[in-house]
């Protein structure tokens, strides 16, 4: 072996040693396993099952401990007797006003206990405002990973079963991707929610050395995140979870078209049944603040900046054309995030609202529904 080769190897070892020391002591990252933990999909499989029409549904009466692979949360995931992520429906208060609330992970309140969900917070506050005259029941019809097409199918079932007075559709720009996946699967594939939200460490060669080296662990994490971002081709709704906010106005209008058509069909269903309808547009975390959802952005190739919301104009235009009652919560959540004493409104890695975020949305929803009930002479 020549002297130059030996010198090169020595230099490489010195650089690697310095880098290892910096990662361990400068960044505070210790060696640790990088594995694709099977516990998360196994837990999901305990309450998610295939459905020939909806793609997947929740099993009724489930209590399942669920820990996020990122460590963001550990909750008891509960479903009620009709397979909704909600409190039990019960048989009391037959005279209560029912509002069906459809949507995705933000409506379901992914990553928080059910008692902290925005919809549950809103129901509690709303009943305080009305003093139970009348009693109001908000029913969570949405599920993580559902697009507008699946919510429309759920609505057709629940409208007949529950006879609601009103429908609230919580729209998010995750839905165009969900709708493309659902259409591509033909409605018969059990698409487990959130399984595409985490990097696959088996794809990186650094994973095998991560328990020995903090540097290898860091390189493995970065490599897996880059591979995941590459799978989510920006703006391609069939492959990009965040296609609903990436692109110019023309491309985004096309991206949202299929999803908004399903929303219109749901609004038409409500009108035909004499049910009041409202749409609420929830922003995604990068549109609220530059430090929200800080751990999840790199995995989807999103920058650490506050992003614009061109999708808001598209949804607003859709509402105006259809004569629908609509609200957008972009300013509300941005203001809450900027408050000096604000806690994070979104999880650090997982796609969903924190307890604090659910309270902001729940408080707003209660006030808004109370005012709407007054306009509709429902109180």
Which range, of 7-16, 210-219, 230-239, averages the lowest pLDDT? 7-16
Residues 279, 349, 22: CA angle, nearest 5 degrees:
155
Distances (CA, A) of 127 to 25, 134, 137, 366: 53, 8, 9, 9
The stretch 166-172 carries a mean pLDDT of: 98
Is it the case that residue 15 has pLDDT exceeding 70? no
Q: Is the dihedral of CA 306, 362, 192, 46 positive or negative?
A: positive
Most confident of 6-10, 68-72, 128-132: 128-132
Is it the case that residue 273 has pLDDT exceeding 70? yes
| CATH code of the domain covering residue 308 | 3.40.50.1110
The pTM of the full predicted model, rounded to 2 decimals, is 0.90
Is it the case that residue 21 has pLDDT exceeding 80? no
73-127 residue pLDDT tens: 999 999 999 999 999 987 654 678 999 999 999 999 999 999 999 999 999 999 9
In a domain, 65, yes or no: no
The parent domain of residue 308 ranges over 88-193+235-375
- The region that residue 90 occupies, defined by phi over 0 for left and psi between -120 and 50 for alpha, beta otherwise, is left
| pLDDT bucket at 34, cuts 50 / 70 / 90 | confident
In a domain, 202, yes or no: no
In a domain, 278, yes or no: yes
pLDDT at 39: 86
In a domain, 50, yes or no: no
pLDDT at 306: 96
| pLDDT bucket at 196, cuts 50 / 70 / 90 | confident
In a domain, 167, yes or no: yes
346-360 residue pLDDT tens: 999 999 999 999 999
């Amino acid at each position: 072996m020549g002297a130059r080769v030996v010198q090169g190897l020595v230099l490489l070892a010195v650089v690697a040693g310095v880098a290892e020391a910096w990662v361990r002591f400068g960044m505070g990252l210790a060696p640790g396993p990088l594995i694709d933990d099977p516990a998360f999909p196994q837990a999901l499989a305990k309450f998610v099952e295939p459905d020939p029409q909806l793609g997947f549904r929740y099993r009724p009466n489930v209590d399942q401990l669920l820990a996020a692979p990122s460590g963001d949360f550990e909750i008891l995931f509960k479903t009620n007797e009709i397979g909704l992520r909600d409190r039990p429906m019960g048989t009391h208060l037959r005279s209560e006003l029912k509002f069906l609330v459809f949507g995705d992970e933000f409506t379901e309140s992914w990553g928080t206990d059910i008692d902290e969900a925005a919809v549950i917070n809103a129901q509690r506050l709303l009943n305080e405002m009305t003093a139970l005259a009348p009693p109001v029941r908000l029913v969570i019809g949405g599920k993580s990973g559902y697009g507008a097409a699946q919510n429309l199918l759920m609505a057709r079932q629940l409208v007949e079963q529950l006879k609601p007075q009103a429908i609230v559709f919580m729209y998010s720009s995750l839905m165009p991707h969900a709708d493309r996946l659902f259409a591509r699967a033909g409605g018969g594939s059990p698409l487990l929610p959130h399984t595409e939200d985490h990097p696959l460490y088996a794809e990186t060669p650094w994973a095998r050395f991560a328990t020995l080296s903090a540097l290898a662990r860091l390189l493995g994490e970065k490599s897996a995140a880059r591979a995941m971002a590459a799978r989510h081709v920006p703006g391609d709704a069939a492959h990009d979870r965040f296609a609903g906010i990436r692109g110019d106005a023309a491309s985004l209008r096309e991206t949202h078209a299929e999803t908004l058509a399903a929303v219109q069909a749901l609004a038409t269903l409500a009108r035909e049944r004499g049910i009041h309808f409202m749409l609420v547009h929830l922003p995604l975390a990068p549109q609220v603040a530059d430090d929200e959802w800080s751990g999840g952005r790199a995995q989807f190739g999103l920058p650490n900046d506050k992003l614009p919301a061109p999708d808001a104009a598209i949804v607003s235009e859709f509402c105006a054309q259809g004569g629908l009652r609509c609200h957008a919560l972009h300013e509300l959540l941005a203001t809450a995030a900027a408050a000096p004493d604000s806690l994070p409104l979104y999880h650090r890695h997982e796609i969903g609202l924190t307890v604090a975020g659910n309270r902001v949305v729940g408080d707003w929803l209660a006030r808004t529904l109370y005012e709407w009930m007054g306009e509709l002479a429902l109180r």
